[in-house]
Amino acid sequence: MIEGIQLEFFLVLGTLVFFIGIYGFLTRKNLITMLMSAELILNAVNINFVAFNKYLYPENLEGQFFALFIIAIAATEVAVAVSIIISLYRKIKSIDVEKVNELKY
């Protein structure tokens, strides 16, 4: 752990990044930028897990494993989301969320 830095500092940092991501998710209209806001949210959660692991339970590795799994899930999420975005763009020539109002089935 870093000298002179409290656990609360990390938690406040994680909270701020999380809500910046929420703000982006609410204001953006473009699907790709909404995806980027979701990445910000996931990364904020990672920061929290790592800080808890390091400061409260340094003899275990649980927080690190959860962060690793979150990174893997973020990768799969982005892969599927990018394929959905590309196939949407082929169909309606737009990735604006307000124009995406129909599903195939």
Partner 1 sequence: MEQIIFYILVSGILIFSVLTVTSRRILRAAVFLLFMLLCSAGLFFMLDFYFLAAVQLTVYAGGIIVLIIFSIMLTSQVNEKLEAAGVKKSSFSLIAAAAGAVVCIYSILNYSFPAVSNGETDSSMKNIGMQLLSYKDNGYVLPFEVISILLLASMVGAIIIAKRDSAK
Q: Which of residues 60-99 bind partner 1 (CB under 8 A)?
A: 60-62, 64-65, 67-69, 71-80, 82-87, 89-90, 95
What is the Cβ-side half-sphere exposure of residue 34, based on CA atoms within 13 angstroms?
Answer: 15
For the CB of residue 63, give the shortest distance to partner 1 in the complex, in Å. 9
**Residues binding partner 1: what is the number (CB under 8 A)?**
72
Using the rule CB under 8 A, is 102 a contact of partner 1? Answer: no
Q: Which parts of 8-27 interact with partner 1 (CB under 8 A)? A: 8-9, 11-13, 15-24, 26-27
Amino acid, single-letter form, for residue 71: I
b/e per residue 26-59 (b: at least 16 CB within 10 A): eeeeebeebbebbebbbbbbbbbbbbbbebeeee
For the CB of residue 75, give the shortest distance to partner 1 in the complex, in Å. 6
Using the rule CB under 8 A, is 46 a contact of partner 1? Answer: yes
**Cα separation of 50 and 12, whole Å?**
13
